[in-house]
Chain A
Amino acid sequence: MTFRVGDQVRVSYRSHDGHHRTPGYLKGMRGTVLRVHATFTDPETRAYGESGLPERRLYLVDFAAREVWYPNAVDGRIFADVFEHWLEEAS
């Protein structure tokens, strides 16, 4: 599904066998869509010599550092680029 700026999302908590661009420390974390960038070829297949098609939409997602690093007390925000197929709707 496609998301819009301001949407609440959650990064899929799943493992992936092979190259992917979703940082492990953000898996399962909830955030807010900050920017909808564009579509790009998929690094998960491109990394293995394939075309990377279909292109995947990339989002800049805003996370609260205190939630990401809980119980460590880290303040501020983490903005990270996450591909659409790694994002789920968060209620």
Chain B
Amino acid sequence: MSHDHDHITHADEPTVAGRVGALAELLVEKGVLDQETIRARIDWLVSRTPADGARLVARAWLDDAFRQRLLDDARSAALEVGIDPGPSPVVVALENTETAHHVVVCTLCSCYPRSLLGPPPDWYKSLAYRDRAVSDPRGVLAEFGLTLGDDVEVRVVDSTADVRYLVVPQRPPGTDGLDEEALAALVTRDSMIGVARPLAPA
């Protein structure tokens, strides 16, 4: 999926990076933010990866009591295992099953569980994904290579506000006996957004 077509720019407009730079300069100049706060926030953002989300999913696959706590309150479950759930006061984990498949989008902008998954992929922020994920979810999933049976209910989660959503994908077959680390290695970013299945074991 192309992710370039949402940048409608005119020749006389500065680039997004240019505008962000100018905005940051103004905020510092006016004392709203300082350089150190901006630097610390960028450091935090780029330090996040999908590994934390993957660890939560792998643990849920192995430990049914943890799985239940994750589905009840994902923020508390993350804190329980020493994972930073991020600034959102409510984090919701939604479980994919034989009969229900969740996929997350933010149609209004690009709300995303950055703390658990790292920075969002470019396609997640594209107008095409944000529009079509809600209006043609099966078509979008097929473009990602994921074809779901008619008996599977597709549930598109439009993350419009302060709550962050994590998809708990189904545990792949053939993974009996794998430990948490081996299972977590199968849990991809895309499987936790809901546009793919986890990897198959080697």
Kindly state whether residue B161 has any CB partner on chain A within 8 Å: yes
Q: Residue A13 at the B interface, CB < 8 A?
A: no
Residue pair B108, A23 in contact (C-beta under 8 Å): yes
Residue-wise, chain B 144-156 has the 8 Å CB interface mask toward A (1 for contact) of 0000000001111
Q: Which residues of A contact B159 (CB under 8 A)?
A: 81
Query: Chain A interface: which size bin?
Result: 20 to 34
B112-132 interface (Cβ within 8 A of A): none
Q: Is B136 an interface residue (CB 8 A)?
A: yes
- B161 A58 Cβ-Cβ under 8 A: yes
Would A80 and B158 count as touching, CB distance under 8 A?
yes
Given contacts A65-B156, A78-B158, A79-B157, contact A25 B163 (CB under 8 A): no
User: Contact between A79 and B161 (Cβ–Cβ < 8 Å)?
Assistant: no
B86 within 8 A of A: no
Q: Contact between A77 and B154 (Cβ–Cβ < 8 Å)?
A: yes
Known contacts being A23-B107, A23-B108, A74-B137, is A81 close to B153, with CB within 8 Å? Answer: no
Is B135 an interface residue when CB atoms closer than 8 A count as contact?
yes
CA distance A78 to B111 in the complex (A): 16
Asked if A37 meets B156 with Cβ closer than 8 Å, knowing A25-B134, A78-B134, the reply is no
Contacts A37-B90, A38-B90, A74-B136; A21 near B153 (Cβ below 8 A)? no
Question: Which residue of the partner chain, among A23, A76, A77, contacts B160 with CB atoms under 8 Å?
Answer: A23
Q: In the complex the two chains form, is A76's CB within 8 Å of B137's CB?
A: yes
Contact yes or no, B160 A35, CB < 8 A:
no
Interface string of A63-91 (1 = CB under 8 A from B): 00100110010111111111100000000
Selected contact of B158 from candidates A37, A38, A75, A79, CB within 8 Å = A79
CB distance from A52 to the nearest CB of B (A): 11
- Give CA–CA (A39, B156) in the complex, Å: 23
A76 to B162 CA separation, bound complex (whole angstroms): 24
Is A28 part of the contact surface with B, judged by Cβ < 8 Å? no
Contacts of A40 in B (CB 8 A): 89, 161-162
Give the interface centre of B138, B153, B158, B163 by most chain A CB atoms within 10 Å: B158
Which A residues touch B24, using CB under 8 A?
Answer: none
**Alpha-carbon distance A23/B102, docked complex (angstroms):** 19
In the complex, chain B residues whose CB is within 8 Å of the CB of A76: 137-138, 153-156
Contacts of B108 in A (CB 8 A): 21, 23
Partner of A37, one of B134, B154, B163: B163
The residue in chain A whose Cβ has the minimal distance to the Cβ of B154 is A76
B interface list, Cβ under 8 A from A? 89-90, 92, 102, 107-108, 134-138, 153-163
Pairs A-B, 3 closest by C-beta atoms: A76-B154, A80-B158, A81-B161
Q: Taking beta carbons and an 8 Å cutoff, which residues of A are in contact with B? A: 21-23, 25-26, 35, 37-38, 40, 43, 58, 60, 65, 68-69, 72, 74-83
